[in-house]
Structure 1
Amino acid sequence: MSRLWTTMVALIFVLLSSGCADKSVHPAPLQADTTSLYQALGNDAGVSAIIDGLLKRISTDTRIVHHFDATDIALFRERLIEHICWVADGDCEYHGESMEKTHQGLNITQADFDALVGHLIASMKEQHIPLATRNALLKRLAPMYSDITYH
């Protein structure tokens, strides 16, 4: 697993479409007792579309794209989908390393982190994820901030 992959995952999880995205995916609103966060995000198709949109945005952002120069993007995409699925209570197993270990020595800044989170939010909006659902995911990712930044 490359350091750039780790950087990307860390940035996303701290706050925290390409042609592959299924534009017909319209996830249901988050409902506390009947719908898991993963379901509210649109299950695998929805999470994949969100990640594809995120990766597209990162690829054109000169502030942070350099963090991914040596990253195997296909593997990074796979691990990021797994991580979001796992964080959102989907039936997934995350095969990556801890956020702290992955981001050690990368010196991810607050600005780097904020840029990536902004792209994550924009990607969720593009997939018509309701505000409450976006906030629920970000709330779960936010505690990872200190494991990702300034190491």
Structure 2
Amino acid sequence: MTHPKTFVALAVALSSLLAAPAFSEPAAAAAAATAAPAGLYQALGEKAGITRLMDDFVNRVVKDPRIGNHFKDTKPAALKESLTDQVCQLSGGPCKYEGADMKSAHADMDINKGHFNALVEVLQVSMDAQGIPFAQQNRLLALLAPMHRDVITVR
């Protein structure tokens, strides 16, 4: 069963897609980093909290029957570290994400909208498990949602 808050949070996140200008990935990351909602980094528990969140998230996502196969050739520890840096930077923290741009990273993965939505659902379950308030979940999802343009490769 779908998490009851998933549709509300997804709607909030997707609403930012309609209003967000189309940037190249580096420009989007820079804009998001400078436009991070005030206090989001702290609300996520700073680097330690984000690390716990990404540990939980990756542990769940690699086992998810809908999307786990997309991660079969991925080293979970490296994915956790990369995602921690990315979320830390996007949320206004001091980290610097140095991984691949989203378009390059997902180019050969055959990801569709259903896969993307499943990933959002798993992230929400992880955020709930970490005790992140719903409003803060939506703030993070709104930062991540524009990435769908580069992550979804099957239209």
TM-score (norm 2): 0.72
Task: Let me know the Cα RMSD of the aligned residues.
Answer: 1.8
Alignment of 1:111-150 (within 5 A): 111-150=114-153
Instruction: Spell out, residue by residue over 1:47-72, the C-alpha distance to the aligned partner (whole angstroms, 9 max, x if none).
Output: 11111111221132122111111111
1:2-151 to 2 correspondences below 5 Å: 36-150=39-153
Q: What's the CA shift for 1:102?
A: 1.0
Q: Please list the CA deviations of residues 71-113 of structure 1 after superposition, one character each: whole Å capped at 9, or x if unmatched.
A: 1111111101000001101001101011111111222111111
SS of equivalent to 2:145: helix
Q: Conserved in 1, the CA contact under 8 Å of 2:103 and 2:151?
A: yes
Higher relative contact order (CA 8 A, sep 6+): 1
Give structure 1 regions of 4+ aligned residues with deviation exceeding 3 angstroms. none
One-letter code of the match for 2:109? Answer: L
Size of the aligned set, in residue pairs, is: 120
Question: 1:35, CA displacement in angstroms?
Answer: 5.3
Q: Which runs of 5+ in 1 are unaligned?
A: 1-14, 17-33
Secondary structure of 1:140's partner?
helix
CA separation in 2, counterparts of 1:125 and 1:134?
9
Higher helix share: 2
Structure 2 gap segments, 5+ residues each: 1-12, 15-36
Once residues 113 and 81 of structure 2 are traced to their aligned partners in structure 1, the CA distance between those partners, rounded to angstroms, is 25
